[in-house]
Structure 1
Amino acid sequence: MPHATRIGSQAETSTPSSNGMPLVSTSCISSQLDLYQSGGWIPSFGSRCISTVENNVESASQDSASVSDVAPRIKFKRLDKTAKHIMQILDKEAVEELRSKKEMPDIKPGYIVQLKVEVPENKRRVSILKGIVIARRNAGLNTTFRIRRLVAGVGVESLFPLYSPNIKEIKVLDKKKVKRAKLYYLRDKMNALKKQ
């Protein structure tokens, strides 16, 4: 036979305060005796109560005590950050290995360099390129530098990977003092190679 029981009930009262605003007081009345008499089961969780306005200071101190009891949150490393870190380590190792095998001069914008480059179509042929470095992009193993040179009176720019196996030799011929990291203004002006 179905039979309904009340677990708890709330009573709400309002009384005027000294400043004219009503003070709300709510109390919880649990009907545990009804449950015992009817033979019902009492759950282990307690009923929630809203505290009165006058007890705000006490409830605030209880809240701060409960916050300090909470265990500290465990931080887990993000997998993408860990993978990025591993790739940086591998990249640095590869650069060190290449530098130990082949002598690599430090190339900066403003340097006039001469390259011996293997032609990709014909590996036996090596072409010699001479030009001024107008830009360098540092990216570990993928570091590149841009050379500007004159071919039959026309300015030509070439982009080379610094650690490319096609570059057989890099020789620094001259070092010009520059105040910029990128010398793109040389595209509009007379090339520095004409003076040599």
Structure 2
Amino acid sequence: MDIAPLVETKTNPDIPELSPGDTVKVSTKIVEGEKERIQVFQGIVIKIRHGADGGSFTVRRISHGIGVERTFPLLSPLVAKVEVVRHGKVRRARLYYLRGLSGKAARIKERRVAREKRTTAKDAVEPVSTEPELQEDIQPQEDSQLEEDTNPHED
């Protein structure tokens, strides 16, 4: 039995639409004793998992020459914010092959995303035309005059 229809779906408004290959900055809340601080983890999304429990995503980065992967739950209250730094152009859903690559070989091409046209104050105001308005007081001509005017080759 699937529990998805029984449990209402929740979304975290601080997590944008992610896809594998994206470079993201994940801000997490860290509690040390009585103090709470925000720690940022920046890396490449190598896996996104969706499921009944809300799902998770895994981010990989290279820290001091060692690969570090961290998995974040999508609905966790400890994930303060996720910011997409750039979109990567990949053709796989799971980027496990990055584990075996290092340096320039592990680079991912950037996917260009079209931005929505931003409306400014100039765009919001309709331009005022400087031409005078044409008057629609044209009287209909008789049918015989129209036939004569429309056939210029007749002499």
- Identity, in percent, stands at 35
2:127 maps to none
Aligned: 1:168 with 2:80 = yes
Aligned: 1:105 with 2:21 = no
Aligned: 1:179 with 2:91 = yes
Answer 1 or 2: higher relative contact order, Cα 8 Å, separation at least 6.
Answer: 2
Aligned: 1:150 with 2:70 = no
Q: Among residues 92, 104, 107, which one is paired with 1:192 in the alignment?
A: 107
Aligned ranges for residues 40-51 of structure 1 at < 5 Å?
none
Identify if the C-alpha distance between structure 1 residues 140 and 105 changes in structure 2 by more than 3 Å, giving closer, same or farther.
Answer: farther
- List structure 1 segments (4+ residues) > 6 angstroms apart after TM superposition: none
**Conserved in 1, the CA contact under 8 Å of 2:57 and 2:71?**
yes
**How far apart, CA to CA, are the structure 2 residues paired with 1:132 and 1:105?**
15
Secondary structure at 2:9 match in 1: helix
- 1:121 positional shift: 4.1
Greater percentage in helix: 1
Aligned ranges for residues 1-196 of structure 1 at < 5 Å?
81=1, 84=2, 87-91=3-7, 93-95=8-10, 98-99=11-12, 102-121=13-32, 124-190=36-102, 191-192=106-107
- 1:192 positional shift: 3.2
- 1:142 positional shift: 3.1
**Conserved in 1, the CA contact under 8 Å of 2:25 and 2:41?**
yes
Using structure 2 for the length normalisation, give the TM-score.
0.60
Structure 1 unmatched ranges of 5 or more: 1-80
- 1:168 positional shift: 0.2
Structure (1 or 2) with the larger CA radius of gyration: 1
Aligned residues: 104
- 1:88 positional shift: 1.0
Using structure 1 for the length normalisation, give the TM-score.
0.48
**Conserved in 2, the CA contact under 8 Å of 1:120 and 1:166?**
no
